[in-house]
């Protein structure tokens, strides 16, 4: 049985282990990285969201996926199920479905994992009736002695059941999450933002009044400092005599190329998020353009949203796990028709072709356009 199995049983080799260490629940963010052999520097969500490029990329990806409705279809013929379970589009009845899926997408993007804790199940089918999103930082995993299999999960250090109410429905991403995969770049971006904020608060560098060799009495030094400080506070003009020169301390943003560094890191972070740089107003040097908005959205789906959408679709469609959302004869897919909707002119041209071919009737076209019959 592998990592995706709910109950893991292994034969323990005849070796000596530290029992306390092997039984102690470990944090998902560390243990999973080690599990995949990718231990390294990780950033935090706060650092990620403090970088405007990251925050915008997160909002574009997560809000886009959350705005796309989910459909339940039969596997045999692809027919849409007219009354899908409410849990599909609104897992938690207390929270709008778009909010739950937005944060679930964020979890997959940032941590590489997402979790829904089962709150209710149907008494006859034992399928999930409602679930709530659990922050990945609250979840720990316990592996076997070799660290090759996951034995069980914990929430807030308490073990959760493998199935039924209280169990976790685990959504697996396709990597270890951007906080770990691009931790160094995120931290660099956060440091650059802090530097820019510091300069914005104090654009005038620190200044030092330096004697040219003349020994000045203490009272004269005090008067000079008081006069100079008052001039700076009031943004007035100060006067220095020949005995004193002015030196500045601190950094020059032009010499440090702060803006260029921020632009470079923004482009790298856009790449790490898997989103075109122009979406986050980063300079990419690319001249890629699209003839219409639908092609731009199609590109966003193909290169930025697809991996997260697939992770959600596949987990909601999984069966035989005792924590199922739908029957084995059905599957869950995102309905991209409205999201990739072409312009009115383009749709009219397509409808005319289908009408002339006899594929669509006038009433069917009006229904697709939400027009009264």
Q: Are residues 156 and 236 in the same domain?
A: no
Number of domains in the chain: 3
Q: Which of 368, 48, 296 has the alpha carbon at shortest distance from 186? A: 48
Q: Do 104 and 151 sit in the same domain of this protein?
A: yes
Same domain membership, residue 58 and residue 47: yes
CATH number at residue 239: 3.30.1120
Instruction: Judge whether 307 lies within some domain.
Output: yes
Give the single-character DSSP code of 116.
Answer: E
Within-domain flag for 254: no
- Are 325 and 361 members of one domain? no
pLDDT for residue 303: 83
Q: Are residues 326 and 355 in the same domain?
A: no
User: What separation in angstroms does the CA of 249 have from each of 36, 43, 209, 213?
Assistant: 47, 31, 11, 20
Residue 159 lies in a domain: yes
Residue 1 lies in a domain: no
User: Is 196 inside any structural domain?
Assistant: no
pLDDT of residue 16: 37
Same domain, 162 and 245: no
Whether residue 69 lies inside any domain: the answer is yes
Residue 300 domain flag? yes
359 and 221 assigned to the same domain: no
170 and 113 belong to one structural domain: yes
Tell me how far apart the alpha carbons of residues 183 and 48 are, in angstroms, rounded to a whole number.
9
**Which helix (H) or strand (E) covers residue 132, if one does?**
strand 128-134
For residue 264, is it within any domain?
no
Residue 228: is it exposed, middle or buried by C-beta count within 10 angstroms (0-12/13-18/19+)? middle
Q: Give the pTM.
A: 0.70
- pLDDT, position 12: 42
Both 79 and 156 in a single domain?
yes
* 330 and 234 fall within a common domain: no
- Pair (64, 167) in one structural domain: yes
Give yes or no: residues 177 and 238 share one domain.
no
Q: Phi first, then psi: what are they for 223, rounded to 5°? A: -65, -40
pLDDT of residue 5: 37
Predicted local confidence at residue 291, as pLDDT: 57
Sign of torsion, CA 24 1 115 297? positive
The answer to whether the CB of 330 falls within 8 A of the CB of 72 is: yes
Rounded to whole angstroms, the Cα distance separating 173 from 179 reads: 13
The stretches in the chain having pLDDT less than 50 are: 1-39, 287
Q: Which domain holds residue 220?
A: 206-249
């Amino acid at each position: 049985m592998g990592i995706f199995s709910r109950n893991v049983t292994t034969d323990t080799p005849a070796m000596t282990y530290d029992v306390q260490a092997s039984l102690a629940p470990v944090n998902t963010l560390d243990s999973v990285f080690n599990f995949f052999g990718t231990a390294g520097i990780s950033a935090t969500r706060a650092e990620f969201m403090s970088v405007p490029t990251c925050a915008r990329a997160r909002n574009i990806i997560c809000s886009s996926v959350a705005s796309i409705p989910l459909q339940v279809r039969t596997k045999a013929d692809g027919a849409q199920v007219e009354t899908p379970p409410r849990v599909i589009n609104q897992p938690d009845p207390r929270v709008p479905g778009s909010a739950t899926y937005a944060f679930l997408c964020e979890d997959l993007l940032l941590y590489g994992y997402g979790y829904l804790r089962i709150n209710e199940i149907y008494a006859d089918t034992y399928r999930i009736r409602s679930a709530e999103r659990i922050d990945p930082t609250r979840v720990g995993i316990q592996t076997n002695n070799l660290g090759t299999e996951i034995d069980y999960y914990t929430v807030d250090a308490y073990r959760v059941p493998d199935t039924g109410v209280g169990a976790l429905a685990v959504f697996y991403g396709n990597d270890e999450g951007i906080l770990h995969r691009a931790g160094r770049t995120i931290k660099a971006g956060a440091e650059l933002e802090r530097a820019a904020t510091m300069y914005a608060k104090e654009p005038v560098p620190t200044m030092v009044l330096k004697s040219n060799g003349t020994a000045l009495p203490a009272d004269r030094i005090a008067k000079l400092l008081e006069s100079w400080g008052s001039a700076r506070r009031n943004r007035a003009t100060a006067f220095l005599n020949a005995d004193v020169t002015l030196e500045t301390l601190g950094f020059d943003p032009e010499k440090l190329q702060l803006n260029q560094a921020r632009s470079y890191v923004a482009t790298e972070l856009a790449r790490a998020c898997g989103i075109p740089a122009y979406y986050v107003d980063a300079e990419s040097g690319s001249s890629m353009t699209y003839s219409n908005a639908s092609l731009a959205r199609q590109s966003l789906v193909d290169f930025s949203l697809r991996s997260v959408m697939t992770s959600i679709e596949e987990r909601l469609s999984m069966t035989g796990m005792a924590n199922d959302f739908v029957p084995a004869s059905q599957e869950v897919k995102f309905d991209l028709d409205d999201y990739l909707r072409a312009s009115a002119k383009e749709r009219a041209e397509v409808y005319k072709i289908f009408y002339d071919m006899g594929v669509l009737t006038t009433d069917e076209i009006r229904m697709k356009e939400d027009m009264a019959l």
